[in-house]
């Protein structure tokens, strides 16, 4: 199929970046950030704020983010808005050229930050057309390349993207995880004070399995009243229990949950057998469902943005059943609601497409949600989940 590269539109004058699709289509634009090339799955994100948090969310590992909001980079960058120190998105696509930053928190401009962090950007593309393409055809594999001199080997880029296996069947959580155990103390960010620290007092102990976590999740656990110890993705049940947890948290992360579940699901099942309270978010939610006997599936286009409506359903919410939360999401896989076994209750459902967004396991203090209640950036409708989890640990 590599000969498809001969059919693409010629490189226009001044083009310094290229987006090469596996079907041979090439989109030309103006590059910024790092030079070089990378491959990944392209997705679109509908959030209007928080591009730096998006670009540092480990859940975006091996992905190219197409931002639907046209003005990306206009508030610059700063050291406080980084969500993870490991590899995350390989690049991004934006409509307008990045302008000089105009924000009192800015410490630098976005192109320089992208360059320093090895991420490739392309400006000047029709992001609405790209979003429509993803919605119709599904999330494509692409190669993204930036060369200030405009020199591109399109056949080589096409061969590389066609040779990439894609996200399905790929475990990215292990590489995205911390390698060593860590005690987490930081509280959430507040204007004027920055990040606080947990009070030195007796608190319920939460052991958090890091599958590529956003740091703000740990901050929200602290805010809800927990003492947090973070362990690597491959921590064993015995290693976790040796820390004497009052509860275990399963983090978000990248890749195929079924692939990560090969080593994580047996650990989660062992924790369930010991009646350890468990709370999972995103990938953690999916692996909790796998441990309970359900299945996961690759989505056509995924859910990514800060404006996704989710409804509370099922039997666990009493007077609040039916309430709608506006949530922040980032996932390309989902729990197949039709495979939930007896004893596993669906608690939340997407109002966009009806996909599963939450479960609870009867007889256990174990639940998970597909969306991101830490919501940085985004709505804050769902902080109650942290309070519920930590509050039940006593």
The residue from 8, 308, 348, 372 that is catalytic is 372
The upper half-sphere exposure of residue 245, i.e. CA atoms within 13 Å in the direction of its Cβ, equals 25
SS3 374: coil
Helices (H), the chain: 51-55, 110-116, 127-137, 154-162, 173-176, 215-223, 237-241, 257-273, 283-292, 384-391
Q: At what angle do helices 384-391 and 215-223 cross, to 10 degrees?
A: 60
SS3 158: helix
- Any residues with CB less than 8 A from the CB of 238 and at least 6 apart, and which? none
Q: How far apart, in whole angstroms, are the C-alpha atoms of residue 342 and residue 350? A: 21
Q: How far apart, in whole angstroms, are the C-alpha atoms of residue 57 and residue 59? A: 5
Q: How many CB atoms lie within 10 A of CB 8?
A: 18
Q: What one-character DSSP code corresponds to residue 82?
A: -
Q: How far apart, in whole angstroms, are the C-alpha atoms of residue 11 and residue 292? A: 52
Alpha carbon 197 to chain centroid, angstroms: 25
Q: How many CB atoms lie within 10 A of CB 99?
A: 13
The residue from 43, 92, 282, 357 that is catalytic is 282
The residue from 41, 325, 346, 374 that is catalytic is 374
Cβ distance 89 to 118 under 8 Å? no
Known catalytic residue at 41: no
Which two three-digit tokens encode residue 307?
């404006």
Known catalytic residue at 282: yes
Strands laid side by side in the 344-350 sheet: 182-184, 227-232, 205-210, 247-250, 278-281, 366-369, 356-361, 344-350, 296-312, 324-335
Q: What ranges make up the beta strands (E) of the chain?
A: 17-21, 26-33, 36-45, 63-67, 91-94, 120-123, 141-146, 182-184, 186-190, 194-197, 205-210, 227-232, 247-250, 278-281, 296-312, 324-335, 344-350, 356-361, 366-369
Q: How far apart, in whole angstroms, are the C-alpha atoms of residue 16 and residue 148? A: 5
Known catalytic residue at 374: yes
Catalytic residues: 282, 372, 374
């Amino acid at each position: 199929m590599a000969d498809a590269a001969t059919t693409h539109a010629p490189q226009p004058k001044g083009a310094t970046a290229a987006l090469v699709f596996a079907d041979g289509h090439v989109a030309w634009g103006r590059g910024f950030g790092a030079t070089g090339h990378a491959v990944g799955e392209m997705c679109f994100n509908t959030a209007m704020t928080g591009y730096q948090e998006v670009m540092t969310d480990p859940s975006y590992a091996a992905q190219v983010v197409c931002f639907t909001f046209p003005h990306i980079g206009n508030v610059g960058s700063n050291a406080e808005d980084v969500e993870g120190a490991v590899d995350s998105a390989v690049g991004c696509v934006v409509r307008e050229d990045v302008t000089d930053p105009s924000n009192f928190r800015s410490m630098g401009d976005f192109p320089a930050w992208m360059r320093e962090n090895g991420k490739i950007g392309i400006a000047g593309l029709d992001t609405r057309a790209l979003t429509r393409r993803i919605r119709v055809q599904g999330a494509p594999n692409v190669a993204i390349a930036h060369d200030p001199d405009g020199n591109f080997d399109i056949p080589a880029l096409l061969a590389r993207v066609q040779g990439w296996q894609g996200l399905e069947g790929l475990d990215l959580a292990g590489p995205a995880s911390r390698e060593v155990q860590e005690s987490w103390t930081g509280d959430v960010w507040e204007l004027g004070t920055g990040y606080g620290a947990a009070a030195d007092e007796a608190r319920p102990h939460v052991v958090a399995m890091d599958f590529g976590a956003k740091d703000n999740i740990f901050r929200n656990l602290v805010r809800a009243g927990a003492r947090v110890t973070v362990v690597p993705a491959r921590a064993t049940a015995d290693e976790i229990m040796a820390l004497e947890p009052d509860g275990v948290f399963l983090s978000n992360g990248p890749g195929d949950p079924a692939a990560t579940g090969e080593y994580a699901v047996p650990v989660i099942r062992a924790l369930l057998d010991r009646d350890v309270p468990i709370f999972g978010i995103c990938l953690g939610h999916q692996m909790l469902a796998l441990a309970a006997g359900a299945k996961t599936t690759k989505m056509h286009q995924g859910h990514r943005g800060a404006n996704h409506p989710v409804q509370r359903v099922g039997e666990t919410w009493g007077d609040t059943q039916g309430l709608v939360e506006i949530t922040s999401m980032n996932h390309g896989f989902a729990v197949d609601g039709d495979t939930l076994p007896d004893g596993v209750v669906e608690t939340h459902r997407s109002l966009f497409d009806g996909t599963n967004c939450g479960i609870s396991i009867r007889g256990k203090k174990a639940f998970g949600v597909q969306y991101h209640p830490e919501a940085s950036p985004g709505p804050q409708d769902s902080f109650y989940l942290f309070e519920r989890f930590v509050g039940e640990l006593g």
